[in-house]
């Protein structure tokens, strides 16, 4: 199973697609998401969002000033500033 991930900044969509694992930094520490994860709403801390796609390809983005929301198998990351590393 895979997650549907959307990463957006204030200006534009940075990345969207399917992932098997997403790790993001929140104000309470790093958190990892896989399909079936419990619902979460968290505040982003400045740091990297690491996305592992099906097949193993990895995407890294720098993000800050925002939040993330996990509902069902959909993870949405909304950042004031975000860009692929």
Distance from chain centroid for Cα 19: 10
Confidence of residue 2 (pLDDT cuts 50, 70, 90): very high
Q: What is the pLDDT of residues 50-62, one digit of tens each?
A: 999 999 999 999 9
pTM check: above 0.85: yes
CATH class of 3-84: mainly beta
Q: Please choose, from the candidates 34, 50, 52, 57, the residue with its C-alpha nearest in 3D space to the C-alpha of residue 85.
A: 50
**Could you give the CA distance from residue 47 to residue 65 in angstroms, rounded to a whole number?**
10
Residue 21 — φ and ψ, nearest 5°?
Answer: -150, 135
pLDDT over 70, % of the chain: 100
């Amino acid at each position: 199973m895979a997650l549907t991930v959307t990463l957006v900044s204030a200006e534009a969509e940075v990345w969207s697609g399917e992932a098997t694992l997403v790790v993001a930094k929140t104000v309470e520490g790093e958190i990892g998401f896989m399909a079936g994860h419990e619902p979460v709403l968290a505040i982003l801390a400045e740091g990297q969002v690491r996305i592992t796609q099906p097949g193993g390809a990895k995407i890294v983005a720098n993000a800050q000033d925002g939040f993330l929301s996990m509902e069902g198998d959909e993870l949405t990351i909304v950042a004031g500033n975000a860009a692929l590393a």
